[in-house]
Amino acid sequence: MLTTTAWVHFPDIDSAVAPVNDLVASGATAVELMVAPALITAAWNMVGAPQEWKELDPTSAALLVEYGGATEAELDAQVARGTELLGAHETIRPIDFTRDAQEIETAWRVREGLQGLVGRLRLPGTVLILEDVCVPPARIAECARDLQPLLAEHGFLPGVAGHASAGNLHFMLTPDFSKPEDIGRYEAFMEGPGRADRRQVRRLAEGRARDRPEHGPLCGARVGDEGDRADVAGEAAGRPRRGALAGRRPEP
């Protein structure tokens, strides 16, 4: 199977989400959403990440789009369809589909490696908690807009990423549970009363209740100090891992 990928940058989250369904319908094998703060973090800290991402507008967002084909001609046709439909949308950087194996590997390392990067950069004594939430795909932009300021308000990285076609968003929390103030901000984030944006996120998630998130609905997969991962809400309940939802790149 031949493969090609492209980072497609949009001025905001709504613009990024707009072509997702059409891309999946055109044959895209993966359509992954990342917001600019996550890409900026990658540019500063991950080998091979495009350095021009350091200058991205923090309110922008990008899709990692992948097509596959059995022959070069089939892949050419897939790229032509994708390029044509993306031409109807506002983008902020040139669209360049690559078939270079190293560039494709780097793109997926950026998309899938942010958790490891945050884990490596977190302060001593903190834990890395992986969270995700599922919403109806048509409302994924709305959910991302609600999550980012909520994360920032409580001192967490306002970067979200996920499987756009499946309505699944991931984010990370890095509290130090030996500190009462960190316990407080973690609890405020998770259960803070009277938060309109938290109620909105939960309403969105409830509308997607039939599809369970990978790590549980705002429950958490914890990565300890040695990097060992206990997916307390996902794997323990026997839920499917990556690759189980449409439009998601299966894990090699």
The pLDDT score that the predictor gives to residue 8 is 98
Token digits for 126? Answer: 């903190």
The pLDDT score that the predictor gives to residue 234 is 29
The pLDDT score that the predictor gives to residue 207 is 53
Determine how β-strand 128-134 pairs with β-strand 168-173: antiparallel
Full set of structural domains in the chain with CATH: 2-112 (3.30.70.2190), 114-237 (3.30.70)
Which residues in the chain show pLDDT less than 50? 193-194, 196, 208-212, 215-252
The pLDDT score that the predictor gives to residue 103 is 95
The pLDDT score that the predictor gives to residue 131 is 86
Token digits for 170? Answer: 């991931």
Token digits for 71? Answer: 């022959």
The pLDDT score that the predictor gives to residue 203 is 57
The pLDDT score that the predictor gives to residue 212 is 46
**Chain centre distance of CA 53:** 16
Percent of the chain with pLDDT over 90: 49
The pLDDT score that the predictor gives to residue 130 is 87
